[in-house]
Amino acid sequence: MRELVEGAWPGLMVTQDLGLGMLTWLTHFFPQEEWARVQFAFTNYGVSLGLQAVRRWPARVDRLNEHFETYRSGDEYDEAAITWVMACASRFPGAWLAGFDPVLA
What is residue 25's predicted lDDT score, i.e. its pLDDT?
A: 77
Residue pLDDT, tens place only, 17-39? 667 777 777 777 887 888 777 67
10-residue mean pLDDT series, the chain (105 residues): 79 73 77 76 84 90 91 80 89 88 76
Q: Across all residues in the chain, what is the average pLDDT?
A: 82
pTM, two decimals, is: 0.64
Dihedrals phi, psi of 74, to nearest 5 degrees:
85, 5
Contact 61, 90 (CB under 8 A): yes
15 burial level (CB within 10 Å; 0-12, 13-18, 19+): exposed
CA 105/CA 102 separation, integer angstroms = 5
Contact 1, 26 (CB under 8 A): yes
For residue 68, give the nearest of 87, 82, 49, 81 by alpha carbon: 87
CA 65 to chain centre: 9
